[in-house]
Amino acid sequence: MTTNENGNYRGKVAFVTGGASGIGRATALAFAREGSSVVVADVSDYPAAINTELLNQITNQDMAEKMTQLYEQYGISPDRVANIVAFAIDQPEDTNVNEFTIGPTTQPW
């Protein structure tokens, strides 16, 4: 993600998969501290997984409305978000980080 002209993430949106705990949570909090709006997706349904540091206790209806606004604002279809989340969920759990490369993907997002 690129910073804005002031060198921070204010006005940017970060979509963090696996953001309920561990590195994903730390990443989501770091983006939030830098002023970014943060969307967190995780397969965990543990009640403490999403906390007030990230969401200020919004309701599911509030979340649905905010997600719809984000989809429309950034031209992201719900199908594209579903593909991203499904791709993240389907990734192998026990993979050495040295086996991954960063580059263009063939995924439909």
As a whole number of Å, the end-to-end CA separation of the chain is 16
The amino acid sitting at 47 is P
CA distance 16 to 27: 7
pLDDT tens for the chain, residues 1 to 109: 555 666 677 878 888 888 777 888 888 888 888 888 787 777 765 544 444 444 444 445 666 677 667 777 877 776 776 666 666 556 555 555 565 555 555 666 5
Q: Comparing C-alpha atoms, which of 29, 68, 23 is closest to residue 52?
A: 29
Closest CA to 14 of 33, 28, 34: 28
| DSSP calls for 57-86 | T--HHHHHHHHHHHHHHHT--HHHHHHHHH
